[in-house]
Amino acid sequence: MRKSILDQEQDSRNRGNVTAKLEIEKKDLRTAALSAMASLCAGPVMVSTDGQITMQFDVRRMLKWIDAIFDSASDRTHATGRRALKNLLTHNSEHSFLLSHSIEECYHAKNPKALFSYFTVATQVLTDAVDDKIPFWKILSAALYTLGNENSEIRMKSARLLRTLEERLGRNSKLQDLDISISDKTTAVYKLAQFEISRRLAKQHADMAFHVFSEFTRYFGGLVPDHQRNMVAAMLPWIQTVELQLLPSGGPTASSYMLMVNLFEITARSSSVLHNEIQALWQALATGPYGGNVQVVLDFIIAICLDRREQNFVDYAKQIVVFLSTTAAGLKVIEFLLLQITPKAMIAEKRPPPSIPQDPTNLPYIADLAQVLPIGNRQSGLSLGQLALMLLVDLVVSPVQLPKNKIPLLLQVVVVQWDHYTPLVQDQAREMLVHMIHELVISQIGPEHTGPSKQGIEDLIESIRQHDPKVVWSYEETDNKGLNSNSTGVPEPMVFVIEEVVRVLSFSYDDIRTGDNIRRDWARMSLVWATTCAVRHVACRSFQIFRCIIDSLDRQMMADMLARLTNTIADDENDCLTFSQEILITLRTIIGALEPEDLIQYPQLFWTTSACLDTIFEQEFQASLAMLDRLLDKLDLSDPAVIKLFNENKPAKWDGEFEGLQPLVYKGLRSNACLDRTLEMLGRMIKLPSSSLIGGDNRLLFTLLANLPRYLHCFEDDSNEQTCFESADSLAGVAEAQQLPDLAHALSGFANQRYRNANDFLNQVVAAARAAWFPAMEYQSLIFLIGLLNNQTPWFRVTIMQLLCVLIPQIDMRRPEIVSQGPDLISPLLRLLQTSYCQQALDVLDNIMSVTGTPLDNKHLRMSMAGSHSTRATRKEYDSTKSLYGIPEESGWSIPMPAIQAERARKNVMAVYYTCLDTTLADGAEITSTPDVAFTTEDQYGSYFDQRSATAMSDSIRADGSMSELVLKLDSLDDFFDDRKPVTPREASRGSVENRENVYEQQTLPILHKSLKRNASVTSFQNGFSDTRFALAREPVVMNPGAFASNPAAGAIRPALHARSVTSPMAAVHHMPRVITDLQSEEDTGDEPFSDDDLSISRMTTSDDALSVHSSNSRAPSAVGLRAGFRSGMRRLTGGTTDRRDVKGLVRLSPQVPRVPTVWLSNPKSSEL
């Protein structure tokens, strides 16, 4: 249109005037249109027709239109917009949301003019309205906020509005007194007036405090910092009137929760910009008339930190605590946090997330912490004690005065958290020590002090802050020499830090007048933590601290340690095993620290050592052996007075007969890890005269048998001969003292190197021993030596079997106590048949005459197949089975009937514990259990996995045994399946079994043939097994190691294992006749080697009640039958099927036996004769 008008104007000089007129007319038209639209707003936005149809305008578009008008810079446009808004609000008073929107825009206005327009209209409408539906606290909040505005006209409107509303409510806060101050143009004046008006209104309307604060915080985040400061000034008086209340359940009420969570949100979002203002808000909450607010706030921030487990939460919590500590209640904050640091509080408990209380008052805004600080995927759990420590760090600054009795507590928690796996905890623990040293020592060092040098202390602080290796140790770090040496079992950096802290803090802590001593007080504190904390790492570190600063010992301290030891000694939980070692190392350190005259006052240490030597675990035994070593260093156990004192103080409830210390040490010979130290200990103890504390005169026999293997080894390896010569000379002296001249002569001859070969020496020593102790000690000697075969040291095993080959002919093997032991007697030898020691083991078996079957043969044979590769469940199955040797571990360590042995050890430690108590038990009183502190897992992490996954990944489910054992367990399922498959997992897993069969066919079988031919005793030995008959009951089994005897009929009825599938039902299977080789008789064919029944002997033999035992003389089977039966039994231990495909790599292969010498194969059919 403009173009057409300009085109009509021919004179170009007038075109400018025309354009100006057009703009003026356009502006007038726009103004007229806006005025018309403003006039149209003077009506309802919603109407109903006669047909009850509701029609309404798009209110949102109308409000946006008004907002666009207020974005203009024109005063005339703003006036029109104010008229439109007023018309809209006046004619639609029933729709309160319109007025609420106008009030909200007082916070959100984009420019000062828009704020003025919105607020002007809102105040006019609110002043004119008689019955408005807007809550008073909402109007109050907006008015208080605008009282701090730079525009004095807005401030005056706010003040008039507040007076008007108060008059309607019948209240009078005398706000007119501040009109002059409000209208003043000086910022300091009207800001002060704003605060005073807010204070008066808060006092007059205290019941609205929570709603006013909630309304403020609703808009706080959207304001610029200057406007946020205005709002803080208005909020402060209201917060001071608030009392935080709790529900009966202990949690905060909805209003209290809102205030704290909203204030926490403000802290998280604005503390860096409005630090002083945020501090004032928290302090206002603490300095009001309600002192209990501080406690509620502390509980709240601790709860959310423990729940959220985020470092950011802890950082803001630390700020809040610092804010609270600067108030009058500051000392109470420190006291409260110190009270939270207890051994029990170190457990990182998985607490349920704090629930948000229901709000019955419809608060306008409650912050969502998940939106304020989102939680990561994986968070390390914090304990209450750790959090309290971290919150205290920033409070230990000048001019704080720490209670003196709390200093050892803080040192204790600092050191036990020094190596924590969470960097935040670790850093805060170290920073706490720096603060303590600075405040307690450096700040008190004067120019004339005589204590530690200030420079040296500052160097220590610097090394801590720089993470110097000399002051840093890892979470899992220990002194690995702790069990076997004079070491304290404490990492060297830890020793350094503890000693430096004691040295530095003793300057300000120690006081002769009051008796304060940092070393003593800290040691006692550490022992309390060690014996009461349920977090294993903390408890162990506490014992290590105690060992570093041990100062004294009393009966109660001893009782505390023994109380924990009663619940952890001989316990198969890893946490308990580690903890028991720490206690034992601590007791060893105590023994070493006490003088002999003091040590004699604690006979409990001797009896604790004796009780712990009965443990079933190798590591505990090693620690107990070190305790015994210290005792022998300190005490003369040959002194009659000492012997009398210890006997008089023997625990009344000692379980079992105490035969002396030396018999308790013998078990260490079965382990290659304990062998050297055990021999050394036997050498020390044999020099002591026999007594009730040490043992009887037969000690020389067992010490001789224990040392003979290394004596014999000296003839082949002279690397350790000097030690052997000294040991032999010592034993010769003991033998001479016991009037055993032949033995003394043989031993002294070895010590003086008079023997040219081992056989001469061995024959002479065995002859002398036989003359001195046999037949009385024959059985004990045999069991002792066979048990030593579990030791994994190669030369030790070889020499033991060499010794057995000479010794067994000197023993009456027909003695009832020997023949009645069944296969348990030779189980260590049976284990060797699958190793490179097969030939030597068979040489020893040649000397075994007969073994009678027992009801436990089945279990003993299975135990002979178990070992260090077996699962924990398998070993547990035989915990209480009566046996001579037990199941060996990797080192050879083995304990028979470990469950019974462990129970005895615990009972005896408990018996010692009761001797430490002031009151003694009556003769008939029962020993009750000591308080048990169950260990909990410290390193908890949040995870998306549920509890089911913990079971799926637990150690008890993981296969900790060999694959071959797993295969044998799976084979017990073949009762339910009998179908042929081309290749199945079951067949593939038989690879190692087939390998054993090949070994048997090629190497082991000829050895057995030769043995059978030359020694008839083997046939009688086998008779004890072949006569054993089993019931046909089928029972489930955990382990299938095979047995010496089988039911031939069962093998004929049931198909071979390799012909059946593990996944298909039973089906008829036809078998081809077997080919009889020259090494098999026809009777052999009836006993198919390693058939399915052989693998799962439980199907025929697991019922002990069904076991029928017959004497070896009940019938006289043929030699061929006995040979075949023995061959079949041995093949179950060493072989498998020979007709299956070799599948390598699926299972762990058994050790290979050596190739059979040619001489053994010269007449392979001789055994058939």
* pLDDT band for position 16 (cuts 50, 70, 90): low
Task: Note the pLDDT tens digit of each residue in 437-483.
Answer: 999 998 888 766 666 788 889 999 999 999 999 999 999 887 656 56
Spatial CB neighbours of 1162, under 8 Å, sequence gap ≥ 6? none
Least confident of 315-324, 479-488, 1149-1158: 1149-1158
Tokens 């704080």, located at residue: 400
Task: Note the pLDDT tens digit of each residue in 333-377.
Answer: 999 999 999 999 999 887 777 778 887 778 999 999 888 888 766
Mean pLDDT for the chain overall = 79
Give bridge partners of residue 511 from the DSSP assignment.
516
Whether the CB-CB separation of 106 and 145 falls below 8 Å is answered with: yes
What is the pLDDT averaged over residues 144-172?
91
Spatial CB neighbours of 607, under 8 Å, sequence gap ≥ 6? 646, 649, 650, 651, 654, 908, 911, 912, 915
Q: Is residue 920 exposed (0-12), middle (13-18) or buried (19+ Cβ within 10 Å)?
A: exposed
If one compares 1105 and 734, the residue with the highest pLDDT of the two is 734
Nearest-angstrom CA–CA distance, 1147 and 551: 56
Structure tokens at 1014: 């030359």
Considering Cα of 1049, then 1054, then 1055, then 1057, what sign does the dihedral take?
negative
Nearest-angstrom CA–CA distance, 880 and 227: 78
Q: If you ran DSSP here, which 8-state letter would residue 875 be given?
A: H
What is the pLDDT averaged over residues 259-287?
94
Whether the CB-CB separation of 674 and 618 falls below 8 Å is answered with: yes
Give residue 1101's pLDDT.
Answer: 35
Tokens 């299938």, located at residue: 1040
Q: If you ran DSSP here, which 8-state letter would residue 424 be given?
A: H
Spatial CB neighbours of 207, under 8 Å, sequence gap ≥ 6? none
**Of 322, 454, 502, residue with least CA distance to 400:** 322
Nearest-angstrom CA–CA distance, 1025 and 1042: 13
Dihedral, 665, 670, 671, 674 alpha carbons, nearest 10: 30
Q: Is residue 189 exposed (0-12), middle (13-18) or buried (19+ Cβ within 10 Å)?
A: middle
Whether the CB-CB separation of 87 and 42 falls below 8 Å is answered with: yes
Tokens 């409650």, located at residue: 366
Q: If you ran DSSP here, which 8-state letter would residue 55 be given?
A: E
Give residue 133's pLDDT.
Answer: 80
Give residue 666's pLDDT.
Answer: 97
Nearest-angstrom CA–CA distance, 236 and 941: 40
* Amino acid at position 1162, single letter: S
Whether the CB-CB separation of 1066 and 977 falls below 8 Å is answered with: yes
| pLDDT above 90 (res 261) | yes
If one compares 80 and 485, the residue with the highest pLDDT of the two is 80
Task: Note the pLDDT tens digit of each residue in 586-613.
Answer: 999 999 999 999 999 999 999 999 999 9
Whether the CB-CB separation of 1062 and 1027 falls below 8 Å is answered with: no
| Alpha helices per DSSP H over 1062-1110 | 1082-1085, 1092-1095, 1098-1101
Q: How many CA atoms lie within 13 A of 402 on its CB side?
A: 28
* Cα-based distances in Å from 821 to 505, 705, 778, 825, 860: 65, 22, 14, 6, 10
Spatial CB neighbours of 158, under 8 Å, sequence gap ≥ 6? 119, 123, 143, 144, 146, 147, 149, 182
Structure tokens at 386: 């750790």
Nearest-angstrom CA–CA distance, 801 and 841: 7
Q: If you ran DSSP here, which 8-state letter would residue 377 be given?
A: S
Give residue 95's pLDDT.
Answer: 86
| pLDDT above 60 (res 655) | yes
Give residue 1044's pLDDT.
Answer: 36
Helix 555-568 vs helix 603-612: crossing angle, to nearest 10: 10
Q: How many CA atoms lie within 13 A of 852 on its CB side?
A: 18
| Alpha helices per DSSP H over 635-720 | 640-648, 661-665, 675-685, 699-714
Q: Cis before residue 775, ω within 30 degrees of 0? A: yes
Give the total residue count for the chain.
1169
Q: What is the pTM of this model?
A: 0.76
Spatial CB neighbours of 457, under 8 Å, sequence gap ≥ 6? 437, 441, 442, 445, 504
Report the Cα–Cα distance between both ends of the chain, in Å, rounded: 133
At 246, phi and psi to the nearest 5? Answer: -120, 150
Nearest-angstrom CA–CA distance, 1112 and 1022: 9
* Amino acid at position 426, single letter: Q
* pLDDT band for position 1102 (cuts 50, 70, 90): very low
Tokens 């001479």, located at residue: 736
pLDDT above 90 covers a percentage of the chain that reads 53
| pLDDT above 60 (res 1096) | no
Most confident of 21-30, 413-422, 922-931, 1134-1143: 413-422
Least confident of 161-175, 495-509, 980-994: 980-994
Nearest-angstrom CA–CA distance, 72 and 81: 10
Tokens 């609703």, located at residue: 218
Nearest-angstrom CA–CA distance, 978 and 994: 20
Whether the CB-CB separation of 470 and 463 falls below 8 Å is answered with: yes
353 C-beta neighbours (distance < 10 Å), count: 10
Whether the CB-CB separation of 1159 and 842 falls below 8 Å is answered with: no
Structure tokens at 528: 């309390």
Give residue 938's pLDDT.
Answer: 65
Nearest-angstrom CA–CA distance, 301 and 907: 46
Least confident of 1-10, 134-143, 712-721, 763-772: 1-10
Q: What are the DSSP calls for 481-550, one per residue?
A: GGGTSS--SS-HHHHHHHHHHHHHHHHHH-BTTTTB-HHHHHHHHHHHHHHH--BHHHHHHHHHHHHHH-
Whether the CB-CB separation of 837 and 797 falls below 8 Å is answered with: yes
Nearest-angstrom CA–CA distance, 219 and 235: 12
| pLDDT above 60 (res 1140) | no
Nearest-angstrom CA–CA distance, 366 and 373: 15
* 3-state DSSP of 185-248: CCHHHHHHHHHHHHHHHHHHCHHHHHHHHHHHHHHHCCCCHHHHHHHHHHHHHHHHCCCCCECC
Pairing of strands 46-48, 54-56: antiparallel
Helix (H) or strand (E) holding 1056: none
Helix 209-220 vs helix 225-240: crossing angle, to nearest 10: 160
Nearest-angstrom CA–CA distance, 615 and 662: 14
Considering Cα of 346, then 348, then 351, then 356, what sign does the dihedral take?
positive
Q: What are the DSSP calls for 422-433, one per residue?
A: SHHHHHHHHHHH
Q: If you ran DSSP here, which 8-state letter would residue 1079 be given?
A: T
Structure tokens at 195: 């605060």
Task: Note the pLDDT tens digit of each residue in 875-898.
Answer: 788 888 888 999 999 999 999 999
What is the pLDDT averaged over residues 270-275?
91
Give bridge partners of residue 535 from the DSSP assignment.
936
Give residue 970's pLDDT.
Answer: 47
Q: If you ran DSSP here, which 8-state letter would residue 1000 be given?
A: I
